[in-house]
Amino acid sequence: MMADVELKKHGQDIAKLVPAFLKDAGKVPKVVLGQDAEFRVLEENKGLIEKQFGCTVAVERAESSKEKKANSGMPGKAGIAVV
């Protein structure tokens, strides 16, 4: 599995996710979107989220974020930091 160069970059994340998915199958998203699709959906709905919660929303990719908890998200479940 780790022979794939792309997967190898995320080896530590994969090592954490697989046991969690095996322990609780409910954590496996029913629909899996790629990171680009998730990012696009959040970016397109940013205004709605801002209006609903009365705050400013910034959509960032974990790898380019300076937030300490940027990697707390999982596939299908975006990490959200309230600052």
Same domain, 45 and 64: yes
Instruction: Provide the pLDDT for residue 74.
Output: 75
Structural domain boundaries, residue 75: 32-83
Per-residue pLDDT of 26-57, as tens digits, reads: 877 788 788 899 899 999 999 999 999 999 99
- Same domain (yes/no): 71, 45: yes
The answer to whether residues 56 and 18 belong to one domain is: no
pLDDT tier at 3 (50, 70, 90 boundaries)? low
Beta bridge partner(s), residue 74: 77
Q: Are residues 23 and 37 in the same domain?
A: no
Counting beta carbons within 10 angstroms of the beta carbon of residue 57, is it exposed (0 to 12), middle (13 to 18) or buried (19 or more)?
middle
User: pTM (2 decimals)?
Assistant: 0.64
DSSP assignment letter at 74: B
The reply to whether 10 and 24 lie within a common domain is yes
- For tokens 């599995």, the residue is 1
**Token digits of residue 55:** 């705050």
CA pair distance 5, 25, nearest whole angstrom: 27
Note whether 23 and 1 are same-domain residues: yes
Do 47 and 62 lie in a common domain?
A: yes
Question: Count of domains in the chain?
Answer: 2
